[in-house]
Amino acid sequence: MASPEVDNAGYDLIAEDNGVVRHIQLKASYVGGKTASQKVHTRLFGKPSGCVIWIYFNEDTLELGPFLFFGSLPGEKLPSLDGLKVAKHTKGDQGGFKAERPNIRVLPKGWFKNISSIDEVYEALFGAPLSCLHNTRV
C-alpha cells in the first residue's frame, strides 16, 4: 500500500491483483447525502488503471454500500478530462473571490457506475469475479 502526500499524487492507495495495478482515489458519503460530485486530482488521470471508488455508508450502522465506480477497464487509463469543470477553492479570499484549483476537476455523480456489492467493486477493479478466486487452489 502506498502512502502519498494528502491528495498530492491523486490517489489514496495502490492495489494489485490478477495482474492489474490500480491507483485508487477513495471518496465517502453517507446514505441520503446530497453530494452531487467529487473533486479529483488530475494526476490520477495519468496513472495506469486509475479510478475513483465512492463509498456510501449508513450513518447509524456504518454498513457500507452502495458503491460508485469511476474508471476504465483494468489496464486502461481513465477517460479524458474534457468536459470536466476546474474546481474552485471552497473558501474565498478577503474579497470573496474563490480561485480555481487548476489540478483538480469536478467529477459529477452521473459519470460514476452504480455497484451494489464489494464483490462487484473487486470485479470492476481487477476484471475477475471475487467468487472465482475463492474457488481456486493454490
Summarize pLDDT for 70-86 with one digit per residue, the tens: 999 998 988 888 889 99
Range(s) of the domain holding residue 23: 13-134
Can you give the pLDDT at residue 131? 59
Task: Give a yes or no: residue 2 inside a domain.
Answer: no
Q: What is the pTM of this model?
A: 0.85
Task: Give a yes or no: residue 55 inside a domain.
Answer: yes
Task: Give a yes or no: residue 60 inside a domain.
Answer: yes
Task: Give a yes or no: residue 1 inside a domain.
Answer: no
CA distances from 13 to 69, 82, 97, 117, 131 (A): 15, 25, 33, 20, 23
Q: 24 forms bridges with which residues in the sheet?
A: 13, 51
Q: Please state the domain count of the chain.
A: 1
Task: Give a yes or no: residue 63 inside a domain.
Answer: yes
Task: Give a yes or no: residue 8 inside a domain.
Answer: no
Task: Give a yes or no: residue 6 inside a domain.
Answer: no
